[in-house]
Amino acid sequence: MDTKVVLDELMELLEKNGVKIRKDSLGGGGSGLCKLKEGYFFFWDIDSNSYENALNCARAVKEIVDIETIYLRPEVREFIENH
């Protein structure tokens, strides 16, 4: 499965779980989850490639979603578990 497709599914999963997505230029490698008083935000670094953003997004999903209780495509589940 293409990394961009995995990234899109991970981002959708974050949004479905109440995470607000913010796309910004952060200089590369700076994507990540942040908890503020208003809730969770995922900062998507538009200077990073899809793979780096997918890795950071998978870490965020692991932190806030119990992936054992939901259906995920096998490729997406494998990406989360392996990264």
Summarised one tens digit per residue, pLDDT across range 10-21 is 999 999 999 999
Q: Are 11 and 21 in contact (CB under 8 A)?
A: yes
- Is the pLDDT at 30 greater than 80, yes or no? no
In which element (H, E) is residue 42 found? strand 39-45
Q: Closest by alpha carbon to 6, among 83, 82, 79, 81?
A: 79
Per-residue pLDDT reduced to its tens digit, 49-73? 989 999 999 999 999 999 999 999 9
**Structural domain that includes position 11:** 3-82
Tell me how many domains the chain contains. 1
